[in-house]
């Protein structure tokens, strides 16, 4: 009886369960989304790689005879920070006197007739290059034109048929976060591709080249990548791989590529005339902070650049510019920062006068300067800075964390100042003092305090005693090489 009485209930439960299962099954199937189609560039770069790699070459640099004055590859140029290493490597320094192979790097074709773009440091010292393509073809050439000031070069080869080539893109249009590919021959491994993003734009003042505009990327770069292209996902060149920031010699995710917009201008001039002609003023400059700008009487809405030195027989010297002038604009174009000035002047027509707006002694004025062609060796000056020998303590005066002394003719001769130079010579700077914090160092000569001339240590002591404790004292200092600078020194 129990069995009979429970059958209808069991059947009902099975029926409801089946119906519920059908409903659930339909609901589940109804909620399944169609397959997600990922954009191809998120899953593979194969298409852009296929377009780019055939135009990227390896370059082996050779010298038919020993170049006595060539800089060893492992030795960095003067003033280059130690963590920056060019990666034109691949040769043992010990063998450089006997081995004609200088090293290797990369490059890429920019014209199907056989025009190749690369870094200057890849071809530096070479008179013959062996250019290799991914398909196995090799070419030998000595047709090289160079621009050391941007670390760029153009190489020509002769081919009996058109070569695959790449087009320049707009580096200014790239944004931080955009994906890029670095292509080249690291460690001689031709056709290597790495991927990453643009980490930063407009990296300048790194002391790698005289004219700088770098894209920074985390795409892996290693020795041998130099001269290869950094491309966007359209396969256009947005940078020329040039340097890495590293302590161990390998990629640490900080690569630097010369921007394509800078490279395009250089390549056009090299192809037209074999060299790059640039205008110049002939001044040393530095940025001005807000406090110093106020003391110098600079308008608040400007981006001033302080003239620290005017080189002899240059356009600036002929026009009467002086160390201590503050430049606001050139040819009607306001400066954005200290790097804007040389790049702006470099593109100006040669032989024509242009107006340079400056602040001198707190007053805004305009000076006419005739732009001349920049000499090849301009910007390569290296001046050793001497420091004075220790002098007896009773000779100097301790003022504001500084020990200063009169500049005697003997000290002037030792340091390289003209013998008739007057001022208060800094003999030492107290560690942690206000003077040390504003950058004053041993060997600088104080020539003015609050625009009043200082001819001795005693003058400096008196000037500091009467200076404003709230605003601080405006000091003008000079170096033996003629550079001037200004600092605001506040003493409690």
CATH code of the domain covering residue 328: 2.30.42.10
* CB-count burial class (<10 Å; 0-12, 13-18, 19+) for 94: exposed
Number of domains in the chain: 3
Q: Is residue 426 part of a domain?
A: yes
| Averaged pLDDT, 126-141 | 93
Q: In which element (H, E) is residue 226 found? A: none
Instruction: Specify whether 269 is located in the same domain as 140.
Output: yes
Residue 142 marked as a ligand binder: no
Instruction: Reply yes or no on whether the pLDDT at 336 is more than 80.
Output: yes
For the residues 299-303, what does the mean pLDDT come to? 85
Q: Is 1 a member of any domain? A: no
The better pLDDT of the pair 411, 240 is held by 240
Instruction: Give the separation between CA 201 and CA 15, rounded to whole angstroms.
Output: 69
Q: Are residues 160 and 75 in the same domain?
A: yes
Higher pLDDT, 247 or 253: 253
Is 72's pLDDT higher than 70?
A: no
Residue range 40-53, pLDDT digits in tens = 556 789 999 999 99
Residue 413 located in a structural domain: yes
Residue 225 in marked binding region: yes
466 known member of a binding site: no
- 30 in a structural domain: no
Residue 417 and residue 451 share a domain: yes
151 is in an annotated binding site: yes
Verify that 244 and 303 share a domain, yes or no. Answer: no
Q: Two tokens at 107?
A: 């490059």
Query: How many other CB atoms are found less than 10 A from the CB of residue 287?
Result: 15
Domain identity same for 366 and 423: no
Of residues 162 and 397, the one with the higher pLDDT is 162
pLDDT at 220 over 50: yes
Is pLDDT of 330 > 90?
A: yes
Residue 12, domain member (yes or no): no
Strand ranges (E), 331-472: 333-334, 353-360, 363-370, 372-373, 397-399, 402-406, 424-429, 445-449, 452-453
Domain contains 5: no
Rounded Cα distance, 419 and 407, in Å? 9
Q: Which residues contact 188 (CB under 8 A, 6 or more apart)?
A: 58, 90, 104, 224
**Token digits for 328?**
């606001």
Over its C-alpha atoms, the chain yields an Rg (Å, rounded) of 32
- pLDDT at residue 24 is higher than 90: no
Do 345 and 456 belong to one domain? no
CATH number at residue 100: 2.40.10.120
Residues 271 and 297 in one domain: no
Same domain, 78 and 130: yes
**pLDDT in the model for residue 85:** 45
Rounded to two decimals, the pTM is 0.74
Same domain, 293 and 167: no
**Which of the listed residues 250, 276, 302 is the one where a domain comes to its end?**
276
Query: For position 109, what pLDDT does the model report?
Result: 97
Full residue range of the structural domain in which residue 309 is found: 279-373
Contacts of 76 (CB under 8 A, 6+ apart): 82, 84, 85, 86
Angle at 374 between CA 372 and CA 379, to 5 degrees: 140
Arithmetic mean of pLDDT, 158-185: 95
With a pLDDT cut of 70, the percent of the chain lying above it is 79
- Residue 207 belongs to a domain: yes
Tell me, yes or no, whether 260 and 289 share the same domain: no
429 and 289 in a single domain? The answer is: no
Q: At which of 276, 306, 327 does a domain end?
A: 276
Q: How many Å apart are CA 86 and CA 149, to the nearest integer? A: 15
User: Tokens 């356009």 identify what position?
Assistant: 315
Residues marked as catalytic: 121, 151, 226
Which of 148-162, 164-178, 206-220 is predicted least confidently? 206-220
H helical segments located in 32-101 = 40-43, 46-52
Lowest-confidence pick of 68-77, 112-121, 338-347, 381-390: 68-77
Residue 6 labelled as part of a binding site: no
Give domain status of residue 17, yes or no.
Answer: no
Shared domain for 250 and 316, answered yes or no, is no
């Amino acid at each position: 009886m129990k069995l009979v009485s429970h059958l209808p209930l069991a059947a009902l439960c099975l029926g409801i369960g089946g119906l519920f299962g059908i409903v659930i099954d339909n609901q589940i199937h109804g909620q399944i989304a169609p397959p997600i189609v990922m954009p191809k560039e998120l899953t593979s770069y194969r298409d852009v790689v296929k377009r780019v790699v055939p135009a990227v070459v390896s370059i082996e640099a050779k010298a038919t005879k020993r170049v006595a004055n060539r800089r060893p590859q492992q030795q960095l140029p003067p003033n280059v920070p130690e963590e920056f290493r060019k990666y034109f490597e691949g040769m043992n320094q010990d063998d450089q006197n006997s081995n004609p192979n200088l090293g290797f790097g990369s490059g890429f074709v920019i014209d199907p007739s056989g025009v190749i773009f690369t870094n200057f440091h890849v071809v530096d010292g070479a008179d013959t290059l062996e250019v290799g393509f991914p398909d196995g073809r090799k070419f030998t050439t000595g047709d090289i034109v160079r621009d050391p000031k941007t670390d760029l070069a153009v190489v020509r080869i002769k081919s009996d048929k058109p070569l695959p080539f790449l087009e320049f893109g707009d580096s200014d249009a790239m944004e931080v976060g955009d994906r890029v590919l670095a292509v080249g021959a690291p460690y001689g491994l031709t056709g290597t591709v790495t991927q990453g993003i643009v980490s930063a734009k407009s990296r300048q003042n790194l002391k790698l080249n005289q004219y700088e505009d770098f894209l920074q990327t985390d795409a892996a770069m290693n020795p041998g990548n130099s001269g290869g292209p950094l491309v966007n996902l359209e396969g256009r060149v947005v940078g020329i791989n040039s340097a890495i920031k590293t302590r161990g010699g390998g990629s640490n995710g900080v690569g630097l590529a010369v921007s394509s917009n800078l490279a395009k201008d250089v390549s056009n001039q090299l192809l037209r005339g074999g060299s790059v002609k640039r205008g110049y003023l002939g001044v040393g400059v530095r940025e001005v902070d807000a406090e110093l700008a106020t003391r110098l009487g600079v308008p608040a809405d400007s981006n001033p650049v302080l003239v620290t030195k005017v080189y002899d027989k240059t356009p600036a010297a002929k026009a009467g510019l002086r160390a201590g002038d503050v430049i606001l604009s050139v040819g009607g174009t306001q400066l954005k920062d200290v790097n804007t000035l040389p790049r702006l002047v470099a593109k100006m027509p040669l032989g024509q006068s242009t107006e340079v707006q400056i602040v001198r002694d707190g007053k805004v004025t305009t000076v006419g300067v005739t732009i001349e062609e920049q000499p090849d060796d301009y910007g390569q000056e290296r001046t050793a800075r001497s420091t004075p020998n220790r002098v007896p303590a009773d000779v100097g005066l301790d003022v504001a964390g500084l020990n200063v002394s009169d500049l005697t003719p003997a000290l002037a001769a030792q340091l390289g100042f003209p013998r008739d130079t007057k001022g208060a010579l800094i003999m030492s700077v107290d560690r942690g003092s206000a003077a040390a914090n504003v950058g004053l160092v041993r060997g600088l000569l104080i020539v003015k305090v609050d625009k009043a001339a200082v001819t001795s240590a005693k003058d400096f002591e008196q000037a500091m005693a009467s200076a404003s404790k709230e605003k601080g004292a405006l000091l003008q200092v000079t170096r033996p090489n003629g550079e001037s600078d200004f600092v605001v020194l506040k003493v409690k």
